[in-house]
């Protein structure tokens, strides 16, 4: 329920951020000779083209997004190792229970079961806390970079005559877009423009590199998974 709420809140934030910037850019257009050029004079509402962008893909697929996600993953590596250790200990106790339960007396069997139950609760809570912590920090990265990517989207739409840009970050039916052709997608163009503007170099090999989803599927950006333990 919490993650669903965050996704809805995030979608609203994206819409409000871009809409506010578009309105600001349109209102601030000066009535000078320079403003008579199509690039400067066009407001999003005056265009006739329809485009699609995976906003999450643009943010996390940028050099800055990939760099910051890679740093976040490295930050959580010790926690992942810790969770793996806890999981291995649990597996060993469960295996011990399976192999010895017919040989143990009632008191020893009850003690072992209680130990497993206690450790399981601690482990489950640790996994949940790690996932929430990772998710919160990932959302912080997204929001911070979005504030800088949004003006690039607005300017690109103004310069290229787009009257409507749809977000394909969430796959239908979680998102409103059922189908958006590849020819409509401007995600790569936005990522390239933002990379140039930000001046952040491409991460070295092995860094987090989320694939930008195809707009025709509307799937979410392939972000790093929150810390998880091996399957029990």
Each residue's pLDDT expressed in tens, for the chain with a length of 232 residues = 444 433 433 444 444 455 444 444 444 433 333 333 233 333 445 678 999 999 999 999 999 999 999 999 999 999 999 999 999 999 999 999 999 988 999 999 999 999 999 999 999 999 999 999 999 999 999 999 999 999 999 999 999 999 999 999 998 888 888 888 899 999 999 999 999 999 999 988 765 544 433 333 333 333 445 565 545 5
Which run of H or of E encompasses 167?
Answer: strand 162-167
Q: Which residue has the tokens 């407001």?
A: 43
pLDDT of residue 25: 45
Give the residues across from 53 on adjacent strands. Answer: 167
Distance from chain centroid for Cα 99: 43
Q: What pLDDT does residue 228 have?
A: 59
Number of helices (H) and strands (E), helices first, in the chain? 7, 2
Spatial CA neighbour of 145 closest among 134, 155, 137:
137
Q: What pLDDT sits at residue 39? A: 36
Distance CA 200, CA 149 (A): 13
Residue 61 tokens read as: 């697929």
Q: What's the pLDDT at 175?
A: 84
Furthest C-alpha separation in the chain: 93
Q: Which tokens sit at 36?
A: 């008579």
Closest CA to 59 of 71, 51, 67: 67
Task: Give the pLDDT score at 34.
Answer: 34
Alpha-carbon distance of 34 to 232, in angstroms, equals: 65
Distance of CA 74 to the CA centre of its chain: 17
47: DSSP letter: -
| CA-derived radius of gyration, the chain | 24
Q: What angle do CA 180, 49, 164 make, to 5 degrees?
A: 70
Distance, in Å, from the CA atom of 229 to the CA atom of 37, rounded to the nearest integer, reads: 57
């Amino acid at each position: 329920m919490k993650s669903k709420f965050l996704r809805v809140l995030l979608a609203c934030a994206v819409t409000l951020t871009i809409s506010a910037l578009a309105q600001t850019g349109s209102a601030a257009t000066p009535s000078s000779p320079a403003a008579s050029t199509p690039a400067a004079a066009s407001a999003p509402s005056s265009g006739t083209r329809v485009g699609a962008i995976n906003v999450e893909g643009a943010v996390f697929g940028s050099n800055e997004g990939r760099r910051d996600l890679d740093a976040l993953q490295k930050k959580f590596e010790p926690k992942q190792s810790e969770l793996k250790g806890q999981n291995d200990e649990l597996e060993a106790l469960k295996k011990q229970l399976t192999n010895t339960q017919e040989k143990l007396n009632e008191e020893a069997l009850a003690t072992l079961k209680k130990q497993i139950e206690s450790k399981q609760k601690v482990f489950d809570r640790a996994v949940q806390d790690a996932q929430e912590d990772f998710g919160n920090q990932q959302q912080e990265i997204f929001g911070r970079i979005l504030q800088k990517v949004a003006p690039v989207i607005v300017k690109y739409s103004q310069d290229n005559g787009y009257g409507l840009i749809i977000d394909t970050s969430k796959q239908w039916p979680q998102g409103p877009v059922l189908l958006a052709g590849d020819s409509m997608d401007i995600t790569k163009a936005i990522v390239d423009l933002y990379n140039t503007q930000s001046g952040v170099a491409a991460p070295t090999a092995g860094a987090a590199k989320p694939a930008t989803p195809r707009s025709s599927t509307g799937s979410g950006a392939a972000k790093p998974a929150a810390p998880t333990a091996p399957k029990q």
